[in-house]
Amino acid sequence: MSEQRKRLVGARRLIVKIGSALLTNDGRGLDLGAMGGWVDQLVALRSAGAEIVLVSSGSVAEGMKRLGWSRRPAHLHELQAAAAVGQMGLVQAWEWQFQRHGVHTAQILLTHDDLSDRKRYLNARSTLRTLLDLNVVPIVNENDTVVTDEIRFGDNDTLGALVANLVEADGLVILTDQLGLFDRDPRQHADAQLVSERFASDAALDAMAAGGSGALGRGGMSTKIRAARFAERSGAFTVIVGGRIDNVLPRLRQGEALGTLLVPEQGRQAARKQWIAGHLNTRGTLVLDAGAVLGVTVRGKSLLPVGVRSVTGDFRRGEMVSCVDEQGAEVARGLANYDAGEARRILGRPSAEIAGLLGYLAEEELIHRDNLVLT
Ligand SMILES: Nc1ncnc2c1ncn2[C@@H]1O[C@H](COP(=O)(O)OP(=O)(O)O)[C@@H](O)[C@H]1O
Ligand SMILES: N[C@@H](CCC(=O)OP(=O)(O)O)C(=O)O
């Protein structure tokens, strides 16, 4: 067994994501037989000491089937309606399958906003942790009813990675309709080769995933690679593997070389920093002078107003902003101690002047180093 595969042996907390194409048997409706098989495997993993969070797609595909729609609708409200109809079937089916084993499930519907807001993030995290402590299997999907185009995760690979980050999982297992990541899209190239192990950060992966998705899936392989890079930020590994491989999950956890294992290059970051790194949305940008870039990146210092040259965007205190150098390249992200208007008034000024300029002093730093993560 390779050194890297040992990461899977005995993994304690796993996120298992099952994609639409696989779950709905390429659009023919929920594949109840296959779902039963995965539940048997998940229950076996639990008996062997693993905690499991299931991220399940399939609500839109199942809703389309129930409504008799053969083509994915173009309008967002129709997609949302299909998702609302299909989600019922999805949770019903999972609930029923887990009940055969006497295991309780819980439905968790999340939007990106839930994970962008520090308070809601912490709430989602404690609910998930409580459910795991109670031996319940959380079943997560995107809350399609309320999301709009810009804030959609869009694919559940990203959602799976953010959930891995949220509960500090050891790994994310993405079950899909191919055996794993191939060096080219196997639907178009019969001679494509399966990739067994790589660093998640390996830039060569992007070209391999350029082929797009299947008819029902949203992201194809590129969102799975992106997810592996998100998961990496909390030190989690990702496996992309064929969900139809016999007894795939227990075999993976025993270290068998199935699918594609994408491993993190770096160690674990503190939980707060993980959350910051996992953010997709920033609300504004601070342009740092060269001294501030050096202070933040090399010396690990907080960002003081004196090192900021300009501020764009409209953010509130506590919101996420991007820090870029004078050429516009992002060097860090962090939570601002002042809103955008205040930041504009204090930029370039020593911290001793903040109270005089604003009439109060929240903090000496514009972003404290504990709330700053390098990108
Ligand atoms: N290099 C690649 N290796 C494997 N699959 C690829 C590759 N490039 C593109 N694909 C496509 O990605 C599809 C899986 O992604 P997707 O349709 O989004 O499924 P899911 O619903 O499981 O997320 C595969 O069926 C395949 O056609
Ligand atoms: N949340 C939606 C869409 C998610 C989706 O299809 O994602 P994926 O299976 O990752 O391609 C659903 O359940 O249908």
Q: Point out the least confidently predicted range of 109-113, 115-119, 141-145, 300-304.
A: 115-119
Look at residue 371 and tell me whether its pLDDT is greater than 90. Answer: no
> 78 C-alpha to center of ligand 1: Å?
25
- pLDDT for 277 equals 75
Look at residue 218 and tell me whether its pLDDT is greater than 60. Answer: no
Q: What is the CATH number of domain 6-274?
A: 3.40.1160.10
Look at residue 189 and tell me whether its pLDDT is greater than 60. Answer: yes
Q: List pLDDT tens digits, range 76-125.
A: 889 899 999 999 999 999 999 999 999 999 999 998 778 777 678 778 88
- pLDDT for 154 equals 64
b/e burial code for range 101-132 (CB count within 10 A of at least 16 → b): eebebbebbbbbebbbebeebeebbeebeebb
Look at residue 146 and tell me whether its pLDDT is greater than 90. Answer: no
Residue bearing the CA closest to ligand 1, atom 15: 220
Q: List pLDDT tens digits, range 309-340.
A: 999 999 988 889 999 999 999 999 998 989 99
Atom of ligand 1 nearest to the CA of 215: 17
Q: Residue 366 in contact with residue 336, Cβ under 8 Å?
A: yes
Q: Residue 56 in contact with residue 42, Cβ under 8 Å?
A: no
- pLDDT for 211 equals 67
C-alpha 54: how far from chain center: 13
**Domain spans of the chain?**
6-274, 282-374
Determine the Cα–Cα distance for residues 326 and 338; give it in Å rounded to an integer.
Answer: 21
Residue 20 CB–ligand 2 contact under 6 Å? yes
Residue 158 CB–ligand 2 contact under 6 Å? no
Atom of ligand 2 nearest to the CA of 217: 11
pTM value?
Answer: 0.77
Q: Point out the least confidently predicted range of 209-213, 247-251, 371-375.
A: 209-213
For domain 282-374, give the fold. Answer: 2.30.130
> 57 C-alpha to center of ligand 2: Å?
4
Nearest Cα neighbor of 91 from 70, 66, 109 is 109
Residue 209 CB–ligand 1 contact under 6 Å? yes
Average pLDDT over the chain reads 90
- CA dist 133 to 15, 52, 128, 166, Å? 15, 11, 9, 15
Residue 176 CB–ligand 1 contact under 6 Å? yes
- pLDDT for 121 equals 79
- pLDDT for 366 equals 96
